[in-house]
Chain A
Amino acid sequence: MTYRWDWSVLVSEPYLGWLLTGLGWTLLVAGAAWVLALAVGVTVGVLRTLPNRAARTFGTAYVETFRNVPLLLQLFVWYFVLPELLPAPVGNWIKRDLPLPEYWTAVIGLGLFTAARVAEQTRAGIQAIGRGQAMAAAASGMTLAQSYRYILLPIAARNVLPPLTSEFLNVVKNSSLALTIGLLELTGQSRQIESATFHGIEAFTAATLTYVVLTTVVIVALRAVERLVAIPGLMARA
């Protein structure tokens, strides 16, 4: 094996600065995209469980559109194709005058893509409760909105915490695809270091360890939330 190692590359300037910049972008993209994904995703998921047919169809159309195309391609379409389809002044503004165009494109692309998956998990969480609860709520005089607010959503939220944790982690890791539209987040910066110094394995190790720390923080935090809000008797344990 003729790979030469040099770990000092990671703590010397400017490479350490690059890594930190990349980490910053990762956090900003993942954070904003997750907020968007939750807002849109929970809404669409609830829409899909409503008795109203139009709401369900809209929800289904949204989920199918955004779930069936790889994120890589969705980002490409948002970045290159959308501005061409809009009227010229709007398109040009997006292309030239919008500040941080790559950042906003990444947030919207990643957020809407993840929202489709969050919608599915919300729907599964609500449906896993079983129709009995919804019927009982209606029978005891609650309106639809009240039954969602006081019965269905609280239980669904607890059902859905493990898969939602997975989804948040996905957002953090999928943020790495932002490099394909020119936003140099953590993975992108580690590749920059690799090109500049040719110590790719060291650079990628640094990025990997940072992802592990980031995701461990998320997992630990959400597991604590899970335990905090657990409703006794609802979970099967041997």
Chain B
Amino acid sequence: MQGRSFWCYSIAGLWGAIALAAQAHAAGPGDSPILKRIAARNAITIGHREASAPYSFIDRDQKVEGYSIDLCMKVVEAVKARLEMPSLEVKYVPINTTNRIALVANGTIDLECGTTTNTLSRQEQVEFSPIFYITGTQVLVKTDNAAKEVEDLKGKRVAVLQGSSNEQSLRMLNDTEKLGIELVYAKDLGEGALLVTSGRVDGFAADGGQIKVYAATKAQPKGALKVIGRLLTYDPYSAMMQRGDLEFALLVKRAFADTFRSPEAEKLYAKWFAPLGIEIEPELKTAFAIQALPQ
């Protein structure tokens, strides 16, 4: 009948239109302030660390690269697709622990890709991407040191990075278990390790991943340093972005989820860590799987 087929077709058409709209993710910046800003500047600004190899660093040719950077490039691809700007410029701004939060909060940087630990108190100031690396506080010591855990360093001198989460947790442990450890404050990873090799301190408490990398790549002679101890803290790394922009956060989540779901994530990890002899931990594999949310 004519009436019924008219209604059939129009309802089918209506459903089709709804399905189409539901399938197609929005294009253009929508009402995301960050995306609008990126479109207006015709560039996305990535914050990076300068010497945190292999996560985020400047190599000898003055190119910015690293594991965190490669993961962020997936987000950049997603932004390019979303804004339909395939020739979007990528700008790099170096950051350090002093200015990284402020530069994200004031909009100088669109996405920070370094070695920032995702904590709840930081989430009052910024938004975080899914977790792409898991580590905790461990201790770097000379290989001939018999200590196996941080408690074996009772009464000794241990270096920490100023203001780091490692410092706060070691201080708490020191107070509660009365370890009598004297804390020495280092300016950066290189100086912390130098304090150990020069004998000024007995150990350097820092992010396990980073000191493992240091021991594998920079110890002179090779094998002079080792990393000991259980993980004293839980330090997951995430990328930072400005708080309050749900659209952009969702775009970032999607980009990471797609990467975690495919073998890309483990491939990128192997690319940067396998040459150093560091295997991917099962916890990280699980984290990838858990965060690979279905579409």
Which residues of A are in contact with B by a Cβ distance under 8 Å?
Answer: 1-4, 80, 83-84, 92, 95-96, 101-102, 179-184, 188, 191-192, 194-198, 200-201
Q: A201: nearest residue on chain B (CB-CB)?
A: B102
Nearest CB in chain B: distance from A88 CB, A: 10
Beta-carbon contact of B185 and A179 below 8 Å: yes
Contacts of B106 in A (CB 8 A): 1, 3
Contact digits for B120-164, partner A, Cβ 8 Å, 1 yes 0 no: 011011100000000000000000000000000000010100111
17 A/B residue pairs, CB under 8 Å, sorted by A: A2-B242, A2-B243, A4-B125, A80-B194, A95-B200, A101-B200, A180-B187, A181-B187, A182-B187, A183-B185, A184-B185, A191-B162, A192-B163, A194-B163, A196-B168, A197-B121, A198-B101
Q: How far is the CA of A55 from the CA of B122 in the complex (A)?
A: 59
In the complex where A182-B184, A191-B162 touch, is A198 in contact with B198 (Cβ < 8 A)? no
Main DSSP-derived SS at the A contact region: helix
Query: Which B residues are closer than 8 A to A by beta carbons?
Result: 97-98, 101-102, 105-107, 121-122, 124-126, 157, 159, 162-164, 168, 184-187, 191, 194, 198-200, 242-244
How many A-B residue contacts, CB cutoff 8 Å? Answer: 69
B residues in contact with A184, CB < 8 Å = 162, 185
> How far apart sit A3 and B106, CA to CA, in the bound complex (Å)?
7
B158 to A: closest C-beta gap in Å: 12
Are the CB atoms of B243 and A192 closer together than 8 Å?
A: no
Residues of B within 8 A of A80 (CB): 191, 194, 198
Determine the chain B residues whose CB is within 8 A of the CB of A4 once the complex forms: 124-125
The verdict on A195 contacting B105 (CB below 8 Å), with A182-B184, A188-B185 known, is no
Point out the residue from A96, A188, A198 that lies within 8 Å of B125, measured CB to CB. Answer: A198
Q: How far is the CB of A200 from chain B (nearest CB, A)?
A: 6
Kindly list 5 other residue pairs between chains A and B, CB separation below 8 angstroms, not including A2-B242, A179-B187, A182-B159: A1-B106, A3-B125, A188-B162, A196-B163, A198-B121
B71 to chain A, nearest CB (A): 23
**Please, how many angstroms separate the alpha-carbon atoms of A4 and B29 in the complex?**
25
Report the separation of the CA atoms of residues A3 and B105 in the bound assembly, to the nearest whole angstrom: 6
- Which residue of B is nearest A6, CB measured? B124
Q: What A residues does B121 contact at CB under 8 A? A: 197-198
Measured between beta carbons, the chain B residues less than 8 angstroms from A198 are: 101, 121-122, 124-125
B164 engages A195 (CB within 8 Å): yes
Could you tell me the distance between the alpha carbons of A92 and B198 in the complex, rounded to whole angstroms?
10
List the A side residues contacting B105 at CB < 8 Å. 1-3
Q: Say yes or no: A3 contacts B102, CB within 8 Å.
A: yes
Q: Considering the chains assembled together, what is the distance between the CA atoms of A2 and B104 in angstroms?
A: 9
In the complex, A181→B188 CA distance in Å? 10
Query: Closest chain A residue to B242 by CB distance?
Result: A2
Cα distance A181–B236 in the bound complex, in angstroms = 28
Residues on the A chain within 8 Å of B162, using CB: 179, 182, 184, 188, 191-192, 195
Task: Find chain A residues with CB under 8 A from B98 CB.
Answer: 191, 194, 200
A191: B residues at CB distance < 8 A = 98, 162-163
- The distance from the CB of A100 to the nearest CB of chain B, in whole angstroms, is 11
Tell me how far the C-beta of A125 lies from the nearest C-beta in chain B, rounded to whole angstroms: 37
Find the residue from A96, A192, A197, A198 having the highest chain B CB count within 10 A.
Answer: A198
Q: Which residues of B contact A84 (CB under 8 A)?
A: 198
Instruction: Write out the residue numbers on chain B whose beta carbons fall within 8 Å of the beta carbon of A2.
Output: 105, 125-126, 242-244
Would you call B101 and A96 a contact (CB within 8 A)? no
Residue contact A96 to B124, C-beta cutoff 8 Å = no
- Complex Cα distance, B242 from A191, in Å, reads 21
* CB <8 Å contact, A96 and B168: no
State A102–B97 Cα separation when bound (angstroms): 22
Q: Which residues of A contact B199 (CB under 8 A)?
A: 92, 95-96
- In the bound complex, residues from chain A placing their C-beta under 8 Å from that of B97 are 195
Given A84-B198, A194-B163, A198-B122, verify A182-B185 contact (CB < 8 Å). yes
Residues of A contacting B186 in the complex (Cβ-Cβ under 8 angstroms)? 182
Given contacts A4-B124, A84-B198, A96-B199, contact A200 B101 (CB under 8 A): yes
Chain A residues within an 8 Å CB radius of B184: 102, 182
Name which residue of chain A comes closest to B164, CB basis: A195
Residues of A within 8 A of B244 (CB): 2
A135 CA to B275 CA, complexed, in Å? 75
Between B125, B186, B243, the greatest number of chain A beta carbons within 10 A of the residue's beta carbon is seen for B125
What's the nearest-Cβ distance from chain A to residue B169, in Å?
12
Q: How far does the alpha carbon of A218 sit from the alpha carbon of B33 in the complex, in Å? A: 48
- Rounded to whole angstroms, the CA-CA distance of A184 and B102 in the bound complex is 22
**B194 to chain A: which residues have CB within 8 Å?**
80
Output the nearest chain A residue to B125 by Cβ-Cβ distance.
A198
Name the distance in Å between A229's Cβ and chain B's nearest Cβ. 42
